[in-house]
Chain A
Amino acid sequence: MKQVIFWGTRGSLPTAPTGQVIREKIIAALAAANGRSFRNRDALEQFVGGLPFTVNNTFGGNSSCVEIVTDGPDHLVCDMGSGARPLGQSKIARYGTPNPQTYHIFISHLHWDHLMGFPFFAPMYIPGNHIVIHGCHQQLEEAVRMQMRAPCFPVDYSQAGARIDFDLMTPDLPHEIDGVRVTPKLQLHTGDSYGYRFDSAEKSVVYSTDSEHKLDDLASFDSFARFFAKADLVIFDAMYSLAEATSVKADWGHSSNVVGVELCQAAAAKRLALFHHEPAHDDAQLFRLFEESIRFEQITRGDRPPLDIVSAYDGLTINL
């Protein structure tokens, strides 16, 4: 495994920035420029590149979709949220049509924010492509078909040009797929969700979203610490603050940055990516949560080696 590319990082509902948000960014950039003039495009690019993330970028708003780039010929993808649309477009741009490709898609669970991008995933309409949808829910195929059926969607599932297969996986059992060992794990979430651990000869990546952690369940904490053990990257549902996740939003099926850090520390994981961002949070709030997570790791580190923390955003590529 070489890279992880985040195509959609928003939780629950795709979230577009408003005109007011863009205005604020323009105002902040102009204030930083403070009347400077720029010789050419390069000079502008350089200036913009030096602005803070919340001014020159955005966490973005597509729902869950993460690509794992392997050394093999196939494509590995976690979830089919609305981020699957730009992912599909990039594949078409890269490989053209026809140019048969195999896509392995791992579905955490059947909630809409994790499936809604599939009808917009262009490779599924192109004959010659092979799509294998892996998951652990009995109703996996039914849920995928259901959202491409009148009156929900104009194009029926039967219009798919690609060959689509479904693979029901068994939790806790490793499966060899495109040279990667993939192990699903049951997680606490309404209707169940599954995390996936991907192990290649050199690297390990864990995708664990829509997963609540009960703080008094120490056995579960230990079992997730084992699931995350020594991972190069853990992609973690950090939708709420710890206080929210334990009080007003208890049983809503999500976790926090604090528990993400604690589990990664217990697991001796190398890097944590905060993921499944709350739609109500703007870039400034998400960036604050990111900085606080870094600080929390520092003050709780003890003798452990440092844990690298990133806050995932649409378009982020992590080299493993």
Chain B
Amino acid sequence: MMQLTTREQSGVLVVSVSGRIDHASSEEFTRLLEPLLINCRQGQPALLLDFSGVAYISSAGLRVLMMASRQSKAQQGSFAIAALTPLVQEVFTISRFNLIVPCYTSVDTACKVLGQ
């Protein structure tokens, strides 16, 4: 069961994601993100996914992130991911998703950029 917990840091909505985002859980991941993405628009706090608790992400999970990034862009909101574990970071590099979804090394770094 995937869990998302939200908190606020420096005016950014930080959402901790944990577990495995594989083909089986990607639909659930989409459902859980949906209400958060609706508010990811101009004039609203940036939405940042804290990925430090994510051990694995499959291509289906990566697609959910791309769709989220796309939706937030269309709404002129800001969406990013931070604190990827080394293995998940490698998956982002190999799939080239690091080029299409904004990634930050840590939540603090991301909040400094997005919180303004």
Residues of A with Cβ closer than 8 Å to B? Answer: 215-216, 218, 221, 241-244, 246-247, 256-259, 262, 292-293, 295-296, 299-300
Contacts and interface: CB of A to CB of B under 8 A. Distances in A.
A293 B93 CA distance: 11
B94 A218 contact: no
B94 A292 contact: yes
B94 A216 contact: no
Contact of B62 (A242, A296, A299): A242
Contacts of B91: 296, 299-300
Given A221-B23, A243-B99, A246-B66, A215 B94 contact: no
A255 to B, nearest CB: 10
Contact of A243 (B23, B58, B87, B96): B96
B60 A258 contact: no
B69 to A, nearest CB: 10
Q: Is the interface of A mostly helix, strand, loop or mixed?
A: helix
B60 A216 contact: yes
Interface residues of B, number: 20
B96 A242 contact: yes
Nearest to A293: B94
Interface in B48-99: 56, 58-60, 62-63, 66, 87, 90-91, 93-97, 99
Contact of A256 (B23, B56, B66, B95): B95
Most chain A C-beta atoms within 10 Å of own C-beta, residue among B23, B59, B90, B91: B59
Contacts of A244: 96
Nearest to A248: B100
A224 to B, nearest CB: 12
Contacts of B26: 216
A299 B97 contact: no
B73 to A, nearest CB: 12
Contact of B63 (A216, A262, A299): A216
Contacts of B60: 215-216, 218, 221
Given A258-B95, A295-B94, A299-B87, A215 B62 contact: yes
9 contacts: A215-B60, A215-B63, A216-B63, A242-B62, A242-B96, A262-B59, A292-B94, A293-B94, A300-B58
A299 B20 CA distance: 13
Contacts of A259: 59
B87 A215 contact: no
Contact of B100 (A216, A247, A256, A296): A247
Given A243-B95, A296-B90, A300-B56, 18 more contacts: A216-B26, A216-B63, A218-B60, A221-B60, A241-B96, A242-B95, A242-B96, A243-B62, A243-B66, A243-B99, A246-B63, A256-B59, A258-B59, A292-B94, A293-B94, A299-B87, A299-B91, A300-B58
